Amino acid sequence: MRVIAELPHPDCKITIFSMNQKYIIKLEKGTFEQVYKIAELDIPEGVNGVFQLLDSEFIKSAAERFNQMRLDFNQAYKRYDNITP
């Protein structure tokens, strides 16, 4: 797997990889990650097409998902903390 691009963004770190004829798009925020895979053949414009795919609506939705992931994890941890001695 090799890094082919990193996109600066204030909401999360975005890294695009290439592996086995797929683009792997990884978004990171703190300890949480979201990973998306798409066949390189499905994006004829190459990595520039991936940049277009990651539009503001997608990033906004991903940022909301990060918030939900944090809430879900915190709630799970509180449940865990209540059952451990």
Q: Indicate the Cα dihedral angle 27, 3, 54, 31, nearest 10°.
A: 0
**If pLDDT is split at 50, 70 and 90, which confidence band does 81 have?**
confident
7-19 pLDDT, tens digit each? 989 989 999 999 9
Q: Kindly state the average pLDDT of the residues 49-63.
A: 95
Q: Report the chain's mean pLDDT, rounded to a whole number.
A: 95
Q: Kindly state the average pLDDT of the residues 49-56.
A: 95
Residue 31: Cβ-neighbour burial (10 angstroms; 0-12, 13-18, 19+): exposed
Q: Where are the domains of the chain?
A: 2-83
> DSSP letter string over 17-72?
EEETTEEEEEEEETTEEEEEEEEGGG-TTTHHHHHHHS-HHHHHHHHHHHHHHHHH
